[in-house]
């Protein structure tokens, strides 16, 4: 994981970091062995950098933190969920073009 505006989300910090965020929060559920996850990662990082004033972005490695993924019914990766006010408000499953991700995020930013 890289990107200065991309937070590492764990089971230990999920509640405070994501659900307690003062801004909408885009969470990317991914794994190191997932090709589509690696393909979409640059888009996620670009959104984190270009929209850092209005949204926060983080990644959950589902192999390291399966409890978080299970709590939100993540069955396929990549799954990207926007949380706002401590609740999931939108999601995309699968590798999609950056424009589609930006469109989803902008609706909630």
What is the pLDDT confidence band of residue 109, given thresholds at 50, 70 and 90? confident
Out of 18, 37, 44, 80, the active site residue is: 37
List the domain boundaries for the chain: 6-108
Annotation marks residue 14 as catalytic: no
pLDDT at 4: 86
- pTM exceeding 0.75: yes
Question: How far is it, in rounded angstroms, from Cα 27 to Cα 47?
Answer: 12
Question: How far is it, in rounded angstroms, from Cα 87 to Cα 97?
Answer: 25
Q: Is the pLDDT of residue 18 over 80?
A: yes
Q: Is the pLDDT of residue 38 over 60?
A: yes
Angle at which helices 35-50 and 98-108 pack, to 10 degrees? 50
Annotation marks residue 34 as catalytic: yes
Fold type of domain 6-108 = Glutaredoxin (3.40.30)
What per-residue string of b and e applies to 84-107 under the rule 16 or more CB within 10 Å gives b? beeeeeebbeebbeeeebbebbee
């Amino acid at each position: 994981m890289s990107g200065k505006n991309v937070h590492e989300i764990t089971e230990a910090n999920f509640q405070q970091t994501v659900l307690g965020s003062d801004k909408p929060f885009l969470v990317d559920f991914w794994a190191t062995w997932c090709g589509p996850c690696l393909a979409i990662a640059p888009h996620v990082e670009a959104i984190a950098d270009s929209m850092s004033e209005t949204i926060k972005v983080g990644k959950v490695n589902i192999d390291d933190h399966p409890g978080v993924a299970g709590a939100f019914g993540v069955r396929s990766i990549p799954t990207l969920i926007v949380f706002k006010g401590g609740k999931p408000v939108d999601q995309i499953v699968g590798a999609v073009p950056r424009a589609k991700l930006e469109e989803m995020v902008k609706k909630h930013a």
